């Protein structure tokens, strides 16, 4: 029985203290707002000037995501979202002041599909006769894959690149739980729905290994093919190079994977001479430039370009891109995963609000749902699916699948008019899992016994302190199977299939976009640019005009962020409680520092496991795909 404790009414002294704190809060708030107002009216102008004979410096954020989020309410340098980066490159492509591009490789992460779409934009940039030069001190597979199309790649002699052949590793927690007396009972529909196996198995099951092997091998082959083509090297030579793994600069050069040794200042001098050569051809000027004019992609995104600005269609024919990124849960946004710090998520309440804003905006004539999600809550997925059914009665709505759109991440977009996926988008995983932790053995180990009093046959069904008997297993199966059936039925209806035809491509299996297209799970193959092109055609925007894009979610305004921070409404209660548990286990209160020292693969694997575990605490049935490491 829950006891509700009602606090006593405050004393006069407490009331006075509250009034004092309120007055102090108002004074502090007014002070902050005054500083902010002065900054707005007397601060620097956002207009960015671009000099003639400039070079675009393509520096990417640490995590290239579909939309940028500011990490600080006083920081106006919100990183560019993926579409904004693409559009900035397209603006530079037609800007006569921009003569080329410089890509200094940094520590940035980008999914395989976004990487391919980025390469398309860079190829288009080069097709206009503009150069691209790259410099790298250290690099990984995705870094190198992007810069392999550069005219030249430079590296210092002491540089290193980890170009290992792609592979998959995953964490399994069955034995860890066994040591503390916990058994995770997992029910999955069907054999390929392996997300829960991280808790119930010691290694990959054959179906899980089969589906993952297809994905990783296909992506590896595509990477080799791209590098071979872009570096003009024999395919077998590229494969042989990646089998060696980690490289020094001289090894890379011996395989023709880089072009020359150079320090960064030498690369800049080289680019400056290249720009001087271009200027000489165009103007006959033979004097040297005083300096190289490099403009960062973040700054250039704010610059005006007459040729670009005049290419847009009317504002009254805008297209909304509603971004849906991360695991799916009910409620409103607020990160709660201590291992996945700063990660984005799909909170159904927030996504519903964004879709409604796009729907209600009179200037928006078509909506694109850009989704990058491994799934999560069935309840939250169905909430968004239901709204999309209503939206498409009034406005066309397209789904553009990014790196991942599987399980709940497929459930949501299947409601759209048209589904577009890249050939290497991970999609499908049509199925559900149920996870039920049993702690009876853990209690027995510490001498705790349990007795029960029941008023009916179902009284102890969800009691995790009792062993999982066959009757309870059957009841859980009977509860889950109709949910799976409804998922498959919705797929069959939206994709014009018979139920058994839909079930044959379901069973929880993840597919790459090419395979999903062959099995009629998507409508066409392409990226975000194709989705915009299809939407333009649908609403009558001429092919030679650019659509005006309105992106969601919108960055919070200063006051919203300030009030949220002052109220402490950060949505991290789950994370805070988990940090306390971890701190107790580790005997270390600085959990953040421990997490930061973890290898990336371990941290991402733990983030995935933690997300699944916390979702299972709230919902026994989940639409979640298996964890697949970032390429």
- The residues spanned by each domain of the chain are 54-167+211-307, 309-432+506-624
3-state secondary structure 531-575: HHHHHHHHHCCCCCCECCEEEECCCCCHHHHHHHHHHCCCCCHHH
At residue 233, the pLDDT reads: 97
Please state, in angstroms and rounded to a whole number, the distance separating the CA atoms of residues 561 and 558.
5
At residue 435, the pLDDT reads: 85
Among the ranges given (15-24, 339-348, 421-430), the one the predictor scored with the smallest mean pLDDT: 15-24
Assigned CATH topology for domain 309-432+506-624? 2-enoyl-CoA Hydratase; Chain A, domain 1 (3.90.226)
**pLDDT band at residue 230 using 50, 70 and 90 as cut-offs:** very high
Q: What is the pLDDT of residues 89-123, one digit of tens each?
A: 999 999 999 999 999 998 778 899 999 999 999 99
Q: How confident is the model over 280-306, as a mean pLDDT?
A: 92
Among the ranges given (158-162, 332-336, 392-396, 543-547), the one the predictor scored with the smallest mean pLDDT: 332-336
498 pLDDT above the threshold of 80: yes
At residue 7, the pLDDT reads: 40
Q: How confident is the model over 521-531, as a mean pLDDT?
A: 97
At residue 615, the pLDDT reads: 61
* b/e code 590-616 from CB counts within 10 Å (16+ = b): ebeeebeeeeeeebbbbbbbbbbbbbb
Q: What is the pLDDT of residues 352-383, one digit of tens each?
A: 999 999 999 999 999 999 999 999 899 999 99
**pLDDT band at residue 46 using 50, 70 and 90 as cut-offs:** low
At residue 629, the pLDDT reads: 60
541 pLDDT above the threshold of 70: yes
- % of the chain residues with pLDDT over 70: 78
What mean pLDDT, rounded, does the chain reach?
84
Residue 133 backbone zone (phi > 0: left; psi -120 to 50: alpha; other: beta): beta
Q: How confident is the model over 527-552, as a mean pLDDT?
A: 95
At residue 606, the pLDDT reads: 61
Q: How confident is the model over 519-543, as a mean pLDDT?
A: 96
At residue 252, the pLDDT reads: 95
At residue 616, the pLDDT reads: 59
Q: Do domains 54-167+211-307 and 309-432+506-624 have the same CATH topology?
A: yes
| Residues across the chain | 631
At residue 5, the pLDDT reads: 38
Q: How confident is the model over 417-439, as a mean pLDDT?
A: 93
Strands (E), 245-329: 245-248, 260-261, 293-296, 318-325, 328-329
124 pLDDT above the threshold of 60: yes
Do the beta carbons of residue 513 and residue 401 sit within 8 Å?
A: yes
72 pLDDT above the threshold of 70: no
Among the ranges given (3-12, 62-71, 224-233), the one the predictor scored with the smallest mean pLDDT: 3-12
249 pLDDT above the threshold of 70: yes
At residue 144, the pLDDT reads: 94
At residue 109, the pLDDT reads: 82
14 pLDDT above the threshold of 70: no
Of 492 and 629, the one with more pLDDT: 492
Q: Give CA angle at 60 (609, 292), nearest 5°.
A: 165
Neighbours of 432 (CB within 10 A): 31
Which helix (H) or strand (E) segment holds residue 109: the answer is: none
Gyration radius of the chain's alpha carbons: 27
Q: How confident is the model over 531-553, as a mean pLDDT?
A: 95
Measured in whole angstroms, the distance separating CA 244 from the mean position of its chain's CA atoms is: 30
- From residue 102, give the alpha-carbon distance in Å to each of 230, 241, 312: 17, 25, 27
Please state, in angstroms and rounded to a whole number, the distance separating the CA atoms of residues 468 and 473.
7
Contacts of 120 (CB under 8 A, 6+ apart): 527, 529
Q: Which CATH architecture has domain 54-167+211-307?
A: Alpha-Beta Complex (3.90)
At residue 621, the pLDDT reads: 67
């Amino acid at each position: 029985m829950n006891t509700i404790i009602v606090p006593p009414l405050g004393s006069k002294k407490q009331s006075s203290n509250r009034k004092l704190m309120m007055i102090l809060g108002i004074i502090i708030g007014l002070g902050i707002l005054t500083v902010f107002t002065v900054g707005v009216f007397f601060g620097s102008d956002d207009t960015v000037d671009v000099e003639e004979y400039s070079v675009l410096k393509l520096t990417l954020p640490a995590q290239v995501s579909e939309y940028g989020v500011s990490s600080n309410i006083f920081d106006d340098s919100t990183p560019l979202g993926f579409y904004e980066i693409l559009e900035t490159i397209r603006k530079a492509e037609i800007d006569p002041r921009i003569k080329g591009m410089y890509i200094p490789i940094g520590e940035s992460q980008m999914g395989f599909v976004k990487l391919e779409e980025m390469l398309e934009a860079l190829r288009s940039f080069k097709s206009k006769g503009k150069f691209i030069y790259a410099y790298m001190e250290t690099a990984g597979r995705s870094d190198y894959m992007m810069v392999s199309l550069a005219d030249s790649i430079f590296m210092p002699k002491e540089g290193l690149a980890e170009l290992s052949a792609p592979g998959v590793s995953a964490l399994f927690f069955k034995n860890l739980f066994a040591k503390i007396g916990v058994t995770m009972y997992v029910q999955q529909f069907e054999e390929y729905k392996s997300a829960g196996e991280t808790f119930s198995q010691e290694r990959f099951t054959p179906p899980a290994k089969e589906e993952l092997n297809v994905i990783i091998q296909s992506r590896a082959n595509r990477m080799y093919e791209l590098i071979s083509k872009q570096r003009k090297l024999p395919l077998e030579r590229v494969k042989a190079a990646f089998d060696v793994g980690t490289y020094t600069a001289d090894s890379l050069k011996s395989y023709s994977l880089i072009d020359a040794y150079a320090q960064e200042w030498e690369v800049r001098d080289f680019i400056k001479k290249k720009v001087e050569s271009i200027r000489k051809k165009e103007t006959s000027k033979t004097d040297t430039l005083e300096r190289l004019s490099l403009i960062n992609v973040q700054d250039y995104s704010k610059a005006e370009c007459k040729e670009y600005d005049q290419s847009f269609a009317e504002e009254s024919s805008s297209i909304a891109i509603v971004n849906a990124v991360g695991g799916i849960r009910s409620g409103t946004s607020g990160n709660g995963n201590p291992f996945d710090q700063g990660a984005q998520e799909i909170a159904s309440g927030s996504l519903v609000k964004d879709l409604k804003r796009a729907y209600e905006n009179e200037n928006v004539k078509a909506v694109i749902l850009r989704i990058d999600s491994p799934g999560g809550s069935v309840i939250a997925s169905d909430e968004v699916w239901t709204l999309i059914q209503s939206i498409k009665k009034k406005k066309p709505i397209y789904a553009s699948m990014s790196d991942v759109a599987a399980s709940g991440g497929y459930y949501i977009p299947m409601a759209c008019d048209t589904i577009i996926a890249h050939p290497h988008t991970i999609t499908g995983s049509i199925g559900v899992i149920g996870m039920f932790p049993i702690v009876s053995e853990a209690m027995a180990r510490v001498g705790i016994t349990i007795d029960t009093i029941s008023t009916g046959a179902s009284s102890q069904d969800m009691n995790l302190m009792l062993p999982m008997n066959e009757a309870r297993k059957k009841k859980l199966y009977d509860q889950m199977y109709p949910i799976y059936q409804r998922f498959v039925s919705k797929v069959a209806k939206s994709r014009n299939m018979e139920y058994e035809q839909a079930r044959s491509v379901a069973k929880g299996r993840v597919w790459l976009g090419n395979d999903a297209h062959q099995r009629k799970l998507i409508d066409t193959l392409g990226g975000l640019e194709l989705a915009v092109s299809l939407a333009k055609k649908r609403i009558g925007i001429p092919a030679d005009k650019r659509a005006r894009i309105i992106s969601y979610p919108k960055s919070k305004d200063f006051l919203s962020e300030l009030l949220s921070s002052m109220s402490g409404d950060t949505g991290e209660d789950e994370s805070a409680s988990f940090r306390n548990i971890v701190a107790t286990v580790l005997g270390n209160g600085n959990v953040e520092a421990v997490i930061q020292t973890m290898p990336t693969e371990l941290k991402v694997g733990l983030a995935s496991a933690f997300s699944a575990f916390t979702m299972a605490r709230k919902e026994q049935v989940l639409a979640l795909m298996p964890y697949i490491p970032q390429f």
